[in-house]
Every structure is written in C-alpha cells, then in structure tokens.
C-alpha cells in the first residue's frame, strides 16, 4: 500500500552530471574476501592493480570530471596492499577519499593509518545476503551488532573525524526490515551519518528478452548479476522503501533525487536529510535547503558536495540562522526553542539514500541513473560502474531485445545461478579467508 506518493516535482533534482559530480568510482582491485549475493563484480584472485596504474587512472579522471570525492571500492579495497598510500594520493589531488568496504578486514590500526592518510569517510556494506565468517545466516536485526561494532571502531580510532555510512542491499525477503534498520540508524545517529538502501537487481525475465551485444546474441550467464533464483520476482522500487520508512517515521520526506535516463519521474537516487537526537527526529530538510547547500558548495569550492566531516553533522545550532529563509529549518528551530531541555543538546543530521538501479522496460529499454555518481573510468571514458563487466566480457553494454522481435537462434537462457558458484569465485574466497 502506498502511504504517500513520492513527488519528484517537489524535490530538488540534484545537479550531478557526467562532467561535474559529487563522487567518482575507483576500483584498485577486483579481489574480494566475501561473497555478496547482490554484487555485480566478479571476484578475481589476481585482481590487485599496480598502484602506478591506479594513479594514472585518477589523473585521467581529473581531465574528464570535476568531483568532490573518490569512492575507493572493488573488490574489497581494505585488502588492497597499497590502500593507505592510495588514500594519501587521492587526498593530495584535492579530493575527498571515501572507502566502500564490507568491513571484514577492518582493524583499529588500519582505521588510524587511513585517518592519518586523509580518509574522509567509510561506507560499510553489511547485509544478510553476504557470506561473512561468523555471521553467515544472521538476519538484519542480528547484524546490528556488527554494524555497531564497526561504527564505534571508526568513531573511536578515527577520533570522530571519519564519516561512517552503512549500505544494505534490499531484497524481497528483507524489505520488511526497512523500519527496523531506519530505527537502528536513528538510535546510532552519533556514530552513523548515512544509511543507504540499494534495491537488488539481477538479470531476469530472459524468457521475454534475448541479450544482445554488438548486434549479436550473447550468453549472459557470465555476468555476476545473472541469477535465476530470483526469476519472476518483482523489482523493488524506491516508493516501496519510502512507504516502509514511513511506517515508523510518517513525516519522512526526501529532498533531492536523480531521475532515470528513460523515465524522468523515476527515483534512481533519492536523498533524505533528517535532523534531531537519538531519541527524537525533529524534522526533514526540504528541497530548498539541499539546493542551497549544493549550490553554495559549488560556488565556494568548485564541486558539488559529497561527504562531510562528522564535525559538520553535529551541533547544528550553527545552522539555525537559515531559519530566516528556509521553512524546514524554521520548523526545527521552534521545536528546539519551545523545549529548554533541547537547547544545549547536540543537534545532529543524518542522510538517507535510496538507490534504485537499472530498470528494464517491456520494450527492452534500460533506465539507468541519469548523472550517476558511481561512474568509473574505462578505456578513456566514464561509464556506469555497475555495468563495466559487460564491457569487459562483451565489448559493449548488453541490450535487451524482446524475444518477439528477435530473428535467429537465441543463446541458452541467461540467469544460471551455478555460474555465481564457479570454481573461480570459490578459489578467490578460499585464498583470502
């Protein structure tokens, strides 16, 4: 049931684009130490790249794109042998280094080393569809213990100077956990600055489509996101996540978004900003606030804002003057002003992001994220990082040709889950663990 329809016309269309964006994606390695069901990258035991090659890629990115932060991902970046030096290099180039990790290899010493190298933030991927030693089979509620451990380690060893975000891939069988996860993030607003929900996607419905590349049918079983386990499952949409959040937080309202390349009203990246304390959310920022912040940051620093230091997300009383021209801040001001017990408490902000990946329409069109922050450098251009495997394996992005329009012999049905259990993947995991 739709609690309240999302209305993009009331939100700020984030100004991020291919040439000027808040974030750019970087993969120094494709080797990983965990299996994640929703991952779109193949685990390569020999996936560590030479540091000099990675630096050259970053210098090439600088010529193609203005960016505030570099998301260092993989693979698992924490097992990349030159991760500290890479973070230092990113910082020296004037960017904010951000690490996207599963957290399995994180240690207090490594947090300290990364802080000293200039790390701005961690985004930790923790969800129940991972095979994590000691945690396999745990549900989302039980995994909160791990989330708390990681967030408090980052806070303690990072001296409160490293932002901490968590993302979770959301599946049909974990959709009902959204209210609980949103509450958990609220209760840990001191340590957790961002909560991200990534809606699961895989190549399915191949009885309706023939996968094509360069005008020829191809066998899509080679892709990590080809999995017939979910065949027939309806894709989750951002509206469903918003409805789940509103079950516990009825006032929840996003403020900014990115639309799809084929659907201007779709919510591909949906940003919400909430302000309050661990026991009470006082309100949500509106479209005018995020427009002001993005525009002001670009005017002052030349880039659209990505991650902020934790110090800017607490003691937000310094932003109260914005009430003079911003409606959402006026609401919060009066809710603080009329309760003296709140006057001297640290007012905090926490962001919530919903990411709705590729949508495939009945006619085969694929709606990607327009202005995607997670673009990666590939052979002289910037491409969607979630689909770079297609370029590596087939030399082109896969097109979905409706079966009714295809003339010729189609390949074997795509979506074979046994490929995801390949000897190569098992070898990679065994080598690390």
pLDDT band at 433 (very low <50, low <70, confident <90, very high): very low
Residues 63-93: pLDDT tens digits?
999 999 999 999 999 999 999 999 999 999 9
Q: What are phi and psi of 379, to 5 degrees?
A: 50, 50
pLDDT, residue 297, reads 98
CB contact at 8 A, 290 and 398: no
pLDDT band at 412 (very low <50, low <70, confident <90, very high): low
pLDDT, residue 204, reads 59
pLDDT, residue 231, reads 53
pLDDT band at 422 (very low <50, low <70, confident <90, very high): very low
Average pLDDT of the segment spanning 201-207: 67
pLDDT, residue 226, reads 55
In whole numbers, what is the pLDDT of the chain averaged over residues? 91
CATH code that applies to domain 8-432: 3.20.20.70
Q: Is the pLDDT of residue 414 over 70?
A: no
Beta bridge partners of 36: 130
Calculate the CA dihedral of residues 18, 357, 214, 45 and round it to 10 degrees. Answer: 90
> For the chain, what are the domain ranges?
8-432
Q: Is the pLDDT of residue 411 over 80?
A: no
CA 221 to CA 211: how far, in whole Å? 10
Give the C-alpha distances (Å, rounded to integers) separating 152 from 34, 108, 167.
22, 10, 16
Task: Return the SS3 of 30.
Answer: coil
Pick from 23, 94, 26: nearest CA to 54: 26
pLDDT band at 208 (very low <50, low <70, confident <90, very high): confident
Calculate the CA dihedral of residues 248, 126, 310, 193 and round it to 10 degrees. Answer: -10
pLDDT, residue 220, reads 80
How big is the chain by its Cα radius of gyration, in Å?
21
pLDDT, residue 140, reads 97
Residues 270-281: pLDDT tens digits?
999 999 999 999
Average pLDDT of the segment spanning 264-293: 97
Residues 151-160: pLDDT tens digits?
999 999 999 9
Residues 251-262: pLDDT tens digits?
999 999 999 999
Pick from 78, 25, 33, 32: nearest CA to 54: 25
pTM: 0.92
Average pLDDT of the segment spanning 44-55: 96
Residues 86-129: pLDDT tens digits?
999 999 999 999 999 999 999 999 999 999 999 999 999 999 99
Find the range with the poorest average confidence among 65-69, 282-286, 391-395. 391-395
pLDDT band at 415 (very low <50, low <70, confident <90, very high): very low
* DSSP-assigned states of every residue in 192-250: --EEEEEE---B--TTTEEEEETTEE--GGGSTTB-GGGTTPPPP-HHHHHHHHHHH-T
Q: Is the pLDDT of residue 225 over 70?
A: no
Residues 338-382: pLDDT tens digits?
999 898 899 999 999 999 999 999 899 999 999 999 999 999 999
pLDDT, residue 238, reads 97
- HSE of 259 in the Cβ direction (CA atoms, 13 Å)? 14
pLDDT, residue 210, reads 87
């Amino acid at each position: 049931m739709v609690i309240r329809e999302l209305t993009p016309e009331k939100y700020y269309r984030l100004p991020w684009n291919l040439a000027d964006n808040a974030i750019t994606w970087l993969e120094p390695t494709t080797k990983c130490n965990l299996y994640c069901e929703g991952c779109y990258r193949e685990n390569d035991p020999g996936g560590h790249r030479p540091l000099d090659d990675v630096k050259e890629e970053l210098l090439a990115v600088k010529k193609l794109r203005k960016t505030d932060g570099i998301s260092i991902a993989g693979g698992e970046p924490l097992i990349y042998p030159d991760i500290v030096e890479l973070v230092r290099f990113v910082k020296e180039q004037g960017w904010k280094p951000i690490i996207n990790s599963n957290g399995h290899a994180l240690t207090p010493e490594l947090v300290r080393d990364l802080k000293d190298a200039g790390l701005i933030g961690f985004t930790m991927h923790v969800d129940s569809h991972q095979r994590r030693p000691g945690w396999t089979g745990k549900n989302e509620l039980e995994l909160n213990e791990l989330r708390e451990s990681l967030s408090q380690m980052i806070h303690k060893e990072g001296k409160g100077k490293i932002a901490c975000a968590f993302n979770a891939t959301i599946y049909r069988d974990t959709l009902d956990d959204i209210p609980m996860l949103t509450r958990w993030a609220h209760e840990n607003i001191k340590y957790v600055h961002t909560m991200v929900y990534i809606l699961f996607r895989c190549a399915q419905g191949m009885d309706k489509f023939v996968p094509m590349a360069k005008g020829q049918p191809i066998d899509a079983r080679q892709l990590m996101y080809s999995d017939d386990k979910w065949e027939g499952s309806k894709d989750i949409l951002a509206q469903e996540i918003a409805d789940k959040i509103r079950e516990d937080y009825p006032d929840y309202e996003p403020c900014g978004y990115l639309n799809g390349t084929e659907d201007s009203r779709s919510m591909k990246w949906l940003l919400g900003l909430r302000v309050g304390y661990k026991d009470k959310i006082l309100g949500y920022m509106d479209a005018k606030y995020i427009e002001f912040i993005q525009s002001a940051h670009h005017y002052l620093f030349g880039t659209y804002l990505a991650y902020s230091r934790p110090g800017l997300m607490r003691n937000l009383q310094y932003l109260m003057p914005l009430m003079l021209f911003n409606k959402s801040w006026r609401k919060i001001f009066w809710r603080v002003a009329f309760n003296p017990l709140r006057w001297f408490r640290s007012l905090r902000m926490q962001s919530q992001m919903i990411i709705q990946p590729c949508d495939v329409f009945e006619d085969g069109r694929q709606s990607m994220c327009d202005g995607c922050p997670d673009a990666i450098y590939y052979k002289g251009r910037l491409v969607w990082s979630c689909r770079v495997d297609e370029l590596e394996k087939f030399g082109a992005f896969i097109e979905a040709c409706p079966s009714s329009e295809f003339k010729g012999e189609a390949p074997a049905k795509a979506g074979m889950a046994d490929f995801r259990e390949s000897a190569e993947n098992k070898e990679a995991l065994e080598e690390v663990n």
